[in-house]
Amino acid sequence: MLKIQVTSDMSASWTFKVNINGKPVVNSGATDPAEINVVIKHPAPSVIRSRFTDTGNAIEVMFNVPVTTASNNQQVCSRIFANVDKLGDGASCSFTTPKTLQVVIGTGTNVIEPGKYSRHGDQLMFNQNSIKPAKQSNFLYLNSDEPSVVEAPNNPLDVNFVVSGPTTINNCGSYQLKAEQISGHGGRKLTYDWQLEPTVVVQDSSSFSPIRLQDAEGQ
C-alpha cells in the first residue's frame, strides 16, 4: 500500500513518479514510469447573505471568500443570475469588495422582493459555473442549486416631505401645493398620488369636491 499525504493552503496540482528500491515503477504493459497525479481544488465559495441596502435601490451579496466571475465582463448580471428578469430593466452588477457583489436594481413592476421564500421571486438564483474563487487555478464553482434569500434592509429609509401652500384663497381662485423638501427617496424618482378633501363644513359642498392629482412626478 502506498500512502501520500499532501497539505496545502492553496489550490495546486502535483505529479509523482513512484520508485521502489531506486527503480521506477512501470505499469503492466507500459514502458514509461507510472505517475500519480494529485490535484487540490479550492472549495466552492458560498453566499453568507444577500440583503437590500438601506436605500432599497441595490442588493449586496456577501461571499465567504474573495470571488470573481467566470465571465470576463463582471457588469453583466445575466451571466451571473438565472432570474435576471427579477432585477429589473437596466440592472447592473459589480464587485465593491473582493467578497461583495452589488446588484443595482433596475426598473420594472415585478422586481425581486425581500423576505422569506415565496412564489414572488425573492431569491437570487445563480447561473451554473458563474461564480468562482478568486486567484485560484483549481477550484469548484458556487453551487447553483442553492439560491440565496434576499433579506430586508437593516435600517430602511422613510420617505419624508414637507407640504406647503397658502392658507387662504380668493373666490374661484386656484390652489397650489408644494412638496419640494423631500428626503428618504434614495436618489430615486417618486410618483405622487394626491387627494385633497375638505376637513370643515362649507356652505356649498359642490364647490369643494375632492381633487385627485395623479400625474405629478418628483425628482
Is pLDDT at 47 greater than 90 in this prediction? yes
Longest pairwise C-alpha distance within the chain = 115
**How many residues comprise the chain?**
219
Long-range contacts of 48-53 (CB under 8 A, 24+ apart): 49/148, 49/151, 50/124, 50/148, 50/149, 50/150, 50/151, 51/114, 51/150, 51/151, 51/152, 51/153, 51/154, 52/114, 52/150, 52/151, 52/152, 52/153, 52/156, 53/153
Task: Give pLDDT tens digits for 186-215.
Answer: 555 666 666 666 666 555 544 555 454 444
Is pLDDT at 92 greater than 90 in this prediction? yes
3-state secondary structure of 205: helix
pLDDT value of residue 7: 59
pLDDT value of residue 9: 58
Higher-pLDDT residue of 120, 169: 169
Nearest C-alpha neighbor of 41 from the set 114, 116, 139, 127: 139
Nearest C-alpha neighbor of 50 from the set 58, 59, 40: 59
Nearest C-alpha neighbor of 82 from the set 129, 41, 29: 129
What nine digits make up the cell of 40?
A: 487540490
What nine digits make up the cell of 202?
A: 362649507
Is pLDDT at 108 greater than 80 in this prediction? yes
What nine digits make up the cell of 215?
A: 400625474
Banded model confidence at residue 51, pLDDT cuts 50, 70, 90 = very high
Is pLDDT at 216 greater than 50 in this prediction? no
Is pLDDT at 99 greater than 60 in this prediction? yes
Highest mean pLDDT among 60-64, 112-116, 147-151: 60-64
Between β-strands 92-97 and 100-104, what pairing exists: parallel, antiparallel or unpaired?
antiparallel
> How large is the average pLDDT for residues 85-114?
91
Is pLDDT at 67 greater than 80 in this prediction? yes
| DSSP symbols for 134-190 | TT-SSB----TTS-EEEEPPSSPPPPEEEEE--S---TT-----EEEEEE-STT--E
